[in-house]
Amino acid sequence: MHKRLNRWLFLVVTIFAGVAARAQDSTGGKPVEMADRLRADGKIYVVVAVLVTIFVGIIAYVIRLDRKISRFEKGSGQR
């Protein structure tokens, strides 16, 4: 069960990485004013920290849910 979850997680991360890599030059070479402003003000790190926190929370939730479901399946299989 954990191998299957790891494979799916790896697949999702790989897909998102590919999409993010293709999205890097979506402005046609023009500078992005909002990103430059956030970077200049130092607020880009806040944005990155919030995104990382959200993704870590989602991953922790999925792992916790998988463990609960595994325990439930083991418990209901004995009857």
From first to last of the 79 residues of the chain, give the pLDDT tens digit: 677 778 888 877 887 777 666 655 555 667 767 777 877 888 888 989 999 999 999 999 999 999 999 999 888 865 5
The model's pTM: 0.52
Report d(CA 64, CA 31) in Å as an integer. 41
Q: Are 50 and 59 in contact (CB under 8 A)?
A: no
What is the CB neighbour count within 10 angstroms for residue 72?
A: 10
pLDDT at 23: 57
Report d(CA 38, CA 72) in Å as an integer. 46
Contacts of 63 (CB under 8 A, 6+ apart): 5
pLDDT at 28: 64
Report d(CA 21, CA 38) in Å as an integer. 21
